Amino acid sequence: MKRLAHTRCLVLVCALLLSLELEGASRKEALANRDAGLAFLEENQARDGVVVTRTGLQYEVLREDPSDRLATGKDLITIHYHGTLLDGTVIDSSRMRGEPIDVTVWNVIDGWAEGLKLMSPGDHYKFYIPYKLAYGAKDHGAIPGYSTLVFEIELLGLEDRKKAKKRK
C-alpha cells in the first residue's frame, strides 16, 4: 500500500514538473511572439501609406470609396476578411470560405472595432493589430498569445441593426 501511494506521489510530482516545464517553454514562445510583433510594428509604421492611431492600430488604405457613411455601433456590418499571423499563417478568412460575414463593432476584437469605424462601404483596408488590441497574452485557438495580427478587410455594406433585426 505504501509503495502504491509513493508511486502515485511520484507520478503527480512528475506531472507537475512537466506542466511547469511546458509553461516555461510556452512563456518563452509567447514573449518571442511579443518581441517579434513589436519589432514588426516599429518597422512597419515607417512605410509609406501606413497610418498609426493613438491606440497603436496600424492600417493602410488599399481602396477607398467616396462614401462618407462610416460604420458605427448601430450598424450590422457586412465584410470580407483575410487574417494571418506575422509569418503568413492564415488564422481565418471569409474569402477562403467564399462567404462574407455580418458583424457589429461590439462583438469583434478591439483592433477590428476601431478599424471598422474608419471605413465606409466599398473601402478595403489592411490592419496591423498589436496583441493588446487583439487577443492579448493568452492563446486563442490557433492564435498564440502576444500575437500581432494582420487583416485585410473589405467593407461590403452597412445596415441599421434594428432594421436588419426586423427584416429577419
pLDDT in tens, 56-75: 999 999 999 888 888 888 99
Q: For residue 59, how many other CB atoms are within 10 A of its CB?
A: 22
- Sequential pLDDT tens for the chain (168 residues): 555 454 554 444 444 433 433 344 477 888 889 999 999 999 999 999 999 999 999 999 999 988 888 888 899 999 999 999 999 999 999 999 999 999 998 899 999 999 999 999 999 999 999 999 999 988 898 899 999 999 999 999 998 766 666 655
CATH top class, domain 34-167: alpha beta
Q: How far is CA 122 from the centre of its chain?
A: 22
In terms of phi and psi (left: phi > 0; alpha: psi -120 to 50; beta: otherwise), the region of 161 is alpha
**What is the pTM for the complete model shown?**
0.81
**Angle 108-111-117 from CA coordinates, rounded to 5°:** 80
Cβ within 8 Å of residue 96, ≥6 positions away: 82, 90
